[in-house]
Amino acid sequence: MNPKPPAALPRRDFLRHLAVGSSVLGLGPTLMRASGAPASAPAAPDLARRAYSGPNLVIVRWGGGARRKESIEAGTTYSPFLCHELLKRGTLYKNMEITKLEGLNTSHGEGTLNIMTGHYDRYKDIENGFLRTRFEPKVPTIFEYMRTAYDVPDYQTLIVNNENRPDEEFYNFSNHLGFGLNVRSQTLSLYRYKTYLFQKQLAEGKLPEKELKEKRDQLAKWRKADARAAGKDEMPPKMEEFWMNWRGHYGDTGFVNERGDRLLTQLTIRAMTELKPKMVMVNYTDCDYVHWGYLDHYTRGIAIMDEGLRQLVAAVEADEAYRDNTIFAVIPDCGRDNNPYVDVPCQHHFNSRSSHEIFALLFGPGIAKGQVVDKLCDQSQLVSTLGKIMKFETASAESRVLEEAIA
């Protein structure tokens, strides 16, 4: 067993240590020891795991990069449910940041893994692909921590992904010794549905020859995309049943179900009914369409996320399995530039101060209500905070906890 990491350093020393070293070695208290263990390292036997009876968790990645201004500031918000309703129900950390570290990007994949691992790292594509972001966490994700501590099946730890972020399909397990593939989370997305659907269509043998070839080629390409799980990525029966029911309801065309972030809301609510996840992370993305050059793509995306969040909260409140027993954590993957003179507004790739400025809202049972915390805090602190609330170890995450949120 790895020794428990040291207590957090003062912030100045924390940043100094963080800026030294490589992506393989631990970088200060936030960055863990990398083991280089294979992704398939065995998990603890089921007999060693406890039954889980704590609160459910819904993490909402306020994603695609969303600034405080359009999210939590009352006079300029495009998310009225979040800003005017939910802030009263929990604890808001209005001065959260992504720590500045040389080589650390303020982008979606990196921000997502910061949230999932409580750990900063310098990531690169596993095959050095140009503009690819198939990153491999070197430290456990929050899902792996939970499944190692508790007897929770993979289909009850879910990541819900946007179809336009295929690289993020592969963030659901680390390469850390004692964790990895055997304690992975499952993923819901159109990418996963199409994988299921194409396999079924090929087995049914009803497609024209041209379509058969296209779908065989596409399946081969998808399987190659995640080399870490090659040959070990069998779909669990519960997931297959979920997609069978989805197909029965929405059909094969894709013309009936929602798209973009509305689809993620649809998938999550359906999963709550059929799979009863204990932990789910919803990776909203739509406001990143601002890269097309129009500010209203960004603000409209925030409004869509806000409506999705309203629907998720309503679904939890209507379901006896979740009502009064579910914690929400709403946190952006990154911020956005506030330079009004750039050709394409609201970028996040230039390491500007505002791209590091985010927030976090926690609400639910055991979370202090109506509280606004103004002190500087860090994106990497979420995992240890949730681990403390849900009573599992997060040994490789940032050790500082967001104590103010815990009632």
pLDDT at 263: 96
Alpha carbon distance 317, 96 (integer Å): 28
Closest CA to 383 of 360, 364, 366: 360
Pair 29, 396: CB distance under 8 Å? no
pLDDT at 210: 86
Q: Please give the model's pTM, rounded to 2 decimal places.
A: 0.85
pLDDT at 347: 67
Chain mean position to CA 399: 20
**Domains of the chain (ranges plus CATH)?**
11-405 (3.40.720.10)
For residue range 282-312, list pLDDT tens digits in order. Answer: 999 998 777 666 678 889 999 999 999 999 9
For residue range 45-70, list pLDDT tens digits in order. Answer: 455 789 999 999 999 999 888 889 99
DSSP string computed for 164-217: T-GGGGG-S----TT-GGGGPPEEESHHHHHHHHHHHHHHHT-S-HHHHHHHHH
Query: Please, which residues have CB within 8 angstroms of residue 370's CB and are 6 or more apart in sequence?
Result: 87, 88, 89, 90
Annotate 233-261 with b (16+ C-beta within 10 A) or e (fewer).
Answer: eebeeebeebbeebeeebeeeeeebeebb
DSSP string computed for 358-383: EEEEEESTTB-SSEEE-S-EEGGGHH
Q: SS3 breakdown of the chain: % helix, strand, coil, rounded to 5?
A: 40, 10, 50
pLDDT at 224: 77
pLDDT at 26: 34
Strand partners, 277: none
Residue type, 230: A
Alpha carbon distance 141, 148 (integer Å): 11
Pair 174, 137: CB distance under 8 Å? yes
389 sits in which H/E element: helix 382-390
pLDDT at 291: 63
Residue type, 25: L
**Tens place of pLDDT per residue across the chain (407 aa):** 344 443 444 443 443 333 333 333 333 333 333 333 333 344 444 557 899 999 999 999 998 888 899 999 999 999 999 999 999 999 999 999 998 877 677 777 889 999 999 999 888 887 777 767 788 899 999 999 999 999 999 999 999 998 877 788 888 899 999 999 999 999 999 999 999 999 999 999 888 888 888 999 888 888 777 767 766 767 899 999 999 999 999 999 888 999 999 999 999 999 999 999 999 999 999 987 776 666 788 899 999 999 999 999 999 999 999 999 999 999 999 887 776 656 566 666 666 777 889 999 999 999 999 999 999 999 999 999 999 999 999 999 999 999 999 98
CA angle 300, 279, 200 (to 5 degrees): 80
Structure tokens at 52: 């889980």
Its sign, for the CA torsion 352, 26, 400, 137, is positive
Its sign, for the CA torsion 337, 339, 343, 346, is positive
